[in-house]
Amino acid sequence: MLLNIPENSQPGTLFPLNLAQDLDVGSNGLQQYTVTPNSHFHVLTRNNSEGKKYPELVQDRALDREEQAELSLTLTALDGGSPPRSGTALVRILIVDVNDNAPEFVNSPYEVQVLESSPPGSPVLTVLAQDADTGNFGRVSYGLVQASDEIQKTFSINKVTGEIRLKKELDFEKIKSYHVKIEATDGGGLTGKGSVLIEVVDVNDNAPELTISSLTSSVPENAPETIISIFRVGDRDSGENGKVVCSIPENLPFILKSTFKNFYTLVTESPLDRESTAEYNITITVSDLGTPRLTTQHTIMVQVSDINDNAPAFTQTSYTMFVRENNSPALHIGTISATDSDSGSNAHITYSLLLPQDPQLDLASLISINPDNGQLFALRALDYENLQTFEFCVGATDGGSPVLSSQALVRVVVLDDNDNVPFVLYPLQNASAPYTELLPRAAESGYLVTKVVAVDRDSGQNAWLSFQLLKATEPGLFSVWAHNGEVRTARLLSERDVPKHRLVLLVKDNGDPPRSASVTLQVLLVDGFSQPYLPLPEVASDPTQVEDALTVYLVIALASVSSLFLLSVVLFVGVKLCRRARAASLGGCSVPEGHFPGHLVDVSGTGTLSHNYQYEV
């Protein structure tokens, strides 16, 4: 026999069983029923309306399917015969489940750690709830309970499997942990509560941060330990991921000083020099200690402001400028230049003339300077013959405070121009009659008649003089040495030579263009120095002048008579000297032997001859 008894049936409940059949009657017939002893049921024997005995199973205590889902009892029917006979039947009792058990979570509360770098859809954990009931009453579904909007946006749970997954990325810096309440519901509507603690594990996903509190973009040079910037560093991560180190390049004149907590101060390590480096780009590097390391860089631009610590410097310590004489006034003769390593008004240079060392030099009338660009100008025409060179100092002053200055030496050299004609010292040329030289007819070839001495106030090749014969009464009789101006006979004299000769000599310098002067000589031939002095040759009268010829002759006659005695004495002395010299050398009048000057006669600007000549007559 099979009985289905719900587990919530109450003790005392009667369950009728099938009766047994016995063909005997009377005392030999069916008398009673028994059941296998157990703690839940016993059996009663009852009579029905027909007088037959039947069994009823009585429940003694409450049933619990979760403890024992099925009972098997043996029902025995006994008669009253002797010996007694019995019959048995198997009673199988199936305890029918009722929803008397709520689901229970196995490991509640759950604790789990999740990396904040886990992508959406990643599994967090799987929860498990158990229900002692069976069938639909033991079938459990899962869900979130009293979940906030943040939890609902972040997590989801599978109703069947209980698997919790991420719906979006986690951020440790915003939320470090979640408390998620879950429930399990069976088919009968009973629920069980649980909780899950989800801890977000930090990963190094945040680079260090740098916040500038104060910044100085311009620093004066030569200032010691100037504060450039104050800044704060930090990292939103935690642990080693949130620890930071700060550094700057080592080759810069700046250092970092840690003040308190995460604040740093950037200061100059030593005085700066704008002239070497006018601007610095300082890169501050902040790195955390996480794995992998994350780095943040911030660049600060610092400009070094100028102070007037550099004096102007001339490009040369001294300048030499050349200017040709007879220059035009206000002529630009050169430029001086100075530089200043400073900037702005500190580098603005003004040029000026300084007082000359020579107090006799009137510099203000000679030179002027442009104060802005250093150009030098000659104020008036210079004369080499009066001033060959002069020196003065120029100053360069900047516009800083205090004012710094320097000076340089300027030497002006006046170049000679061929502006002077040769000047004849001997024979001196004037408006009177040409100078007369006496030449004895007995003179041999090469006899020195006279020497023309001339000077040139110019210098160099402008003062190199040369001589040449332009005109002569007898072209082949006389010659002029080009180098020293000596006039000599070119051949022996003869009786046919006229007694009077007129020579025109040209004295020319070597300038460009050359300048020249002419010299006129009269040469009178005499038969030795014993011949009476002849009247002076007639000088061709100037066409513009008309003189009385008789007056001229009378003057000549009076001069001759007056000079007769003096001339006699001079001739006597001359004859004596010539005879003595003839015995020693060539005879006649002689010139001491010696070295004659070279190609040209060099004459200084003062008119003094560079060589001495001695003549003995």
Phi, psi torsion values for 412, nearest 5 degrees: -105, 120
Report, as an integer, the average pLDDT of 71-82. Answer: 91
Question: Which residues touch 52 (CB under 8 Å, ≥6 apart)?
Answer: 19, 30
Binning pLDDT at 50, 70 and 90, where does residue 261 land? confident
User: pLDDT at position 531, please?
Assistant: 44
Q: Which of 103, 89, 117, 115 is CA-nearest to residue 192?
A: 103
Binning pLDDT at 50, 70 and 90, where does residue 431 land? low
User: pLDDT at position 584, please?
Assistant: 59
The two tokens of residue 414 are: 């006046």
Q: What is the mean pLDDT of the chain?
A: 86
Binning pLDDT at 50, 70 and 90, where does residue 585 land? low
Report, as an integer, the average pLDDT of 541-553. Answer: 59
pTM for this entry: 0.53
User: pLDDT at position 338, please?
Assistant: 95
Q: Give the Cα separation of 414 and 385 in Å (integer).
A: 9
Residue 543 CB-density burial (10 A; 0-12 exposed, 13-18 middle, 19+ buried): exposed
- Long-range CB pairs of 223-228, under 8 A, 24+ apart, other chains included: 223/268, 223/271, 223/272, 224/268, 224/270, 224/271, 225/267, 225/268, 225/269, 226/267, 226/268, 227/265, 227/266, 227/267, 228/254, 228/266, 228/267, 228/268, 228/282, 228/300, 228/302
Q: Give the Cα separation of 473 and 467 in Å (integer).
A: 18
Binning pLDDT at 50, 70 and 90, where does residue 281 land? very high
Binning pLDDT at 50, 70 and 90, where does residue 359 land? confident
Helices 549-562 and 564-584 pack at an angle, to 10 degrees, of 60
For 516-539, write each residue's pLDDT tens digit: 998 888 889 888 654 444 444 444
Q: Which of 108, 105, 102, 107 is CA-nearest to residue 132?
A: 102
User: pLDDT at position 589, please?
Assistant: 42
Q: Which of 30, 31, 95 is CA-nearest to residue 61?
A: 95
Report, as an integer, the average pLDDT of 402-408. Answer: 93
Q: Which of 455, 404, 403, 446 is CA-nearest to residue 425?
A: 455
Q: Which of 192, 185, 186 is CA-nearest to residue 98?
A: 186
User: pLDDT at position 315, please?
Assistant: 93
As a dihedral over the C-alpha atoms of residue 249, residue 251, residue 252, residue 257, rounded to 10 degrees, the angle is 50
Q: Give the Cα separation of 351 and 168 in Å (integer).
A: 77
Q: Give the Cα separation of 429 and 431 in Å (integer).
A: 7
Binning pLDDT at 50, 70 and 90, where does residue 610 land? very low
pLDDT beyond 90 at 193: yes
Q: Give the Cα separation of 523 and 480 in Å (integer).
A: 14
pLDDT beyond 70 at 271: yes
Q: Give the Cα separation of 604 and 454 in Å (integer).
A: 11
Binning pLDDT at 50, 70 and 90, where does residue 601 land? very low
User: pLDDT at position 597, please?
Assistant: 41
pLDDT beyond 50 at 458: yes
pLDDT beyond 80 at 239: yes
User: pLDDT at position 428, please?
Assistant: 81
Out of 4-18, 359-373, 399-413, 551-565, which region has the weakest mean confidence (pLDDT)? 551-565
Q: Give the Cα separation of 275 and 614 in Å (integer).
A: 72
- Tell me the residue type at 12: G
Q: Which of 339, 279, 345 is CA-nearest to residue 307?
A: 345
Give the 3-state DSSP-derived string for 65-129, with helices as H, strands as E and coil as C.
CCCCCEEEEEEEEEECCCCCCEEEEEEEEEEECCCCCCCEECCCCEEEEEECCCCCCCEEEECCE
Question: Which residues touch 311 (CB under 8 Å, ≥6 apart)?
Answer: 340, 398, 404, 405, 406
For 109-154, write each residue's pLDDT tens digit: 999 999 999 999 999 999 999 988 888 888 999 999 989 999 999 9
For 283-309, write each residue's pLDDT tens digit: 999 999 988 899 999 999 999 999 998
The two tokens of residue 122 are: 């990643």
pLDDT beyond 50 at 546: no
- Long-range CB pairs of 570-578, under 8 A, 24+ apart, other chains included: 570/529, 571/529, 571/530, 574/529, 574/617, 575/528, 575/529, 575/530, 577/616, 577/617, 578/529, 578/617
User: pLDDT at position 28, please?
Assistant: 87
Q: How many CB atoms lie within 10 A of CB 297?
A: 12
User: pLDDT at position 433, please?
Assistant: 67
User: pLDDT at position 50, please?
Assistant: 81
pLDDT beyond 60 at 596: no
